[in-house]
Amino acid sequence: MEAMFDEQIFWKENFTDGEAKGGFFVRAVELKKFLEIVEAADHGGEVVGLKFSDNNLEVIVNPKK
């Protein structure tokens, strides 16, 4: 079974024109662990978005019911 954050792409909201390509890599082990904790938390939920603002990252979730 594939974990939630294996091979997931979160696209920039208004990106619709031009060509996108990869090739820039950074180890994100701690971020992946953090997002899994957010999903497992009682007040967390499914991570459905990431919002970057300056040096801050906001995790957007679909709350658990």
**pLDDT tens-digit series, residues 26-45:** 899 999 999 999 999 999 99
pLDDT at 36: 93
Residue 1 has pLDDT above 60, yes or no: no
Q: Both tokens of residue 39? A: 């999903």
Q: Which of 18, 56, 57 is nearest to 47 (CA)?
A: 57
pLDDT at 8: 80
Enumerate the H helices of the chain as residue ranges.
Answer: 29-40
**Secondary structure (3-state) at 58:** strand
Query: Domain segments of the chain: what residues?
Result: 29-63
pLDDT at 3: 64
Helix or strand holding residue 50 (H, E) = strand 45-53
> What is the DSSP code (8-state) at residue 17?
S
Residue 48 has pLDDT above 80, yes or no: yes
